[in-house]
Structure 1
Amino acid sequence: MKTISIVVPCYNEEENVIPLSRAITALFEKELADYRYELIFIDNDSRDRTRELLRGLCQSDPDIKAIFNAKNFGQFNSPYYAMLQTSGDCTILMAADFQDPVEMIPQYVREWESGYKIVIGIKKSSQENKFMYWLRGCYYKLIKKLSDVEQIEQFTGFGLYDAKFIQVLRGLNDPTPFLRGIVAELGFKRKEIPYEQPLRRAGKTSNNFYRLYDAAMLSITSYTKVGLRLATIFGSICAGLSMVVALVYLVMKLIWWDRFPAGMAPMLIGMLFLGSIQIFFIGLLGEYIMSINQRVMKRPLVIEEERLNFGGDEKSGARQIQDGE
Structure 2
Amino acid sequence: MAETIGEAVPVPSPEPRRERARTGLRICYVLPVYNEAEGIRGFHRALLAATGTRPEFDYEFIYVNDGSADRSLVILRELAIADPRVRVLDFARNFGHQIAITAGLDYAEGDAVIVMDTDLQDPPEVSLELIDAWRGGAEIVSARRRSRQDTRFKRLTAHTYYRLLHTWAEVDIPTDTGDFRLFDRRAAEELRGFRERSRFIRGMVASMGFQHTEVLFDRDERAAGETKYPLQQMVRLAADGVTGFSTAPLKLITRVGFVSLALAAIGIMYAVAMRLLWPSITVSGWTMLMVVMLFLGGVQMLSLGVIGSYIGRIYHEVQQRPLYIVRREIRHDQD
TM-score, normalised by the number of residues in structure 2 = 0.89
Q: Distance in 2 between matches of 1:224 and 1:63?
A: 40
Conserved in 2, the CA contact under 8 Å of 1:84 and 1:169? Answer: no
Query: Which residue of 26, 48, 52 corresponds with 2:49?
Result: 26
Deviation at 1:200, TM superposition (A): 0.6
Question: Is the aligned partner of 1:266 residue 2:283?
Answer: no
Query: Which residue of 250, 254, 259 corresponds with 1:232?
Result: 254
Q: Distance in 1 between matches of 2:122 and 2:143?
A: 9
1:92 aligned residue: 114
Query: Which residue of 151, 157, 170 corresponds with 2:179?
Result: 157
Query: Which residue of 213, 219, 242 corresponds with 2:235?
Result: 213
Query: Which residue of 149, 158, 164 corresponds with 1:136?
Result: 158
In the TM superposition, 1:61-100 aligns within 5 A as: 61-100=83-122
- With over 3 angstroms needed to count, the CA separation of the structure-2 counterparts of 1:241 and 1:128, relative to structure 1, is closer
Q: Distance in 2 between matches of 1:7 and 1:153?
A: 22
Conserved in 2, the CA contact under 8 Å of 1:57 and 1:64? Answer: yes
Query: Which residue of 109, 123, 136 corresponds with 1:114?
Result: 136
* AA matched with 2:43: L
**Greater Rg by CA:** 2
Q: Distance in 2 between matches of 1:68 and 1:12?
A: 13
Conserved in 1, the CA contact under 8 Å of 2:191 and 2:205? Answer: no
1:323 aligned residue: none
Cα-to-partner distance string for 1:184-217 (whole Å, 9 max, x where unaligned): 1111111111111000111111221110100110
Q: SS of 2:119's equivalent?
A: coil
Q: Distance in 1 between matches of 2:50 and 2:282?
A: 82
* AA matched with 1:8: L
Q: SS of 1:206's equivalent?
A: coil
Question: Is the aligned partner of 1:191 residue 2:233?
Answer: no
Q: Distance in 1 between matches of 2:287 and 2:155?
A: 44
RMSD, matched Cα: 1.7
Q: Distance in 2 between matches of 1:52 and 1:95?
A: 18
Q: Distance in 1 between matches of 2:115 and 2:285?
A: 63
2:313 aligned residue: 291
Q: Distance in 1 between matches of 2:90 and 2:280?
A: 78
TM-score, normalised by the number of residues in structure 1 = 0.91
Q: Distance in 2 between matches of 1:232 and 1:28?
A: 53
Query: Which residue of 35, 44, 57 corresponds with 2:79?
Result: 57
Conserved in 1, the CA contact under 8 Å of 2:34 and 2:66? Answer: yes
Deviation at 1:252, TM superposition (A): 2.9
1:5 aligned residue: 28
Query: Which residue of 265, 268, 280 corresponds with 1:246?
Result: 268
Cα-to-partner distance string for 1:233-254 (whole Å, 9 max, x where unaligned): 2112212331342233224313
Q: Which moved more, 1:48-57 or 1:15-24?
A: 15-24
Conserved in 2, the CA contact under 8 Å of 1:77 and 1:176? Answer: no
In the alignment, structure 1 segments of 5+ residues that lack a partner are 317-325
Deviation at 1:310, TM superposition (A): 8.8
Cα-to-partner distance string for 1:252-294 (whole Å, 9 max, x where unaligned): 3133333322311111111111111221222122211112222
* AA matched with 1:68: D
2:40 aligned residue: 17
- With over 3 angstroms needed to count, the CA separation of the structure-2 counterparts of 1:179 and 1:136, relative to structure 1, is same
Cα-to-partner distance string for 1:95-136 (whole Å, 9 max, x where unaligned): 110000111122111110111001111111111212211210
Q: Distance in 2 between matches of 1:73 and 1:187?
A: 27
Cα-to-partner distance string for 1:72-91 (whole Å, 9 max, x where unaligned): 10121111221121010010
Conserved in 1, the CA contact under 8 Å of 2:105 and 2:192? Answer: no
Q: Distance in 1 between matches of 2:327 and 2:240?
A: 27
Q: Distance in 2 between matches of 1:6 and 1:286?
A: 37
Aligned residues: 312
Q: Distance in 1 between matches of 2:141 and 2:104?
A: 18
Q: SS of 2:193's equivalent?
A: helix
Q: Distance in 2 between matches of 1:52 and 1:292?
A: 38
1:321 aligned residue: none
Conserved in 2, the CA contact under 8 Å of 1:78 and 1:301? Answer: no
Cα-to-partner distance string for 1:130-182 (whole Å, 9 max, x where unaligned): 22112101110111111121111111110111110111012223222211111
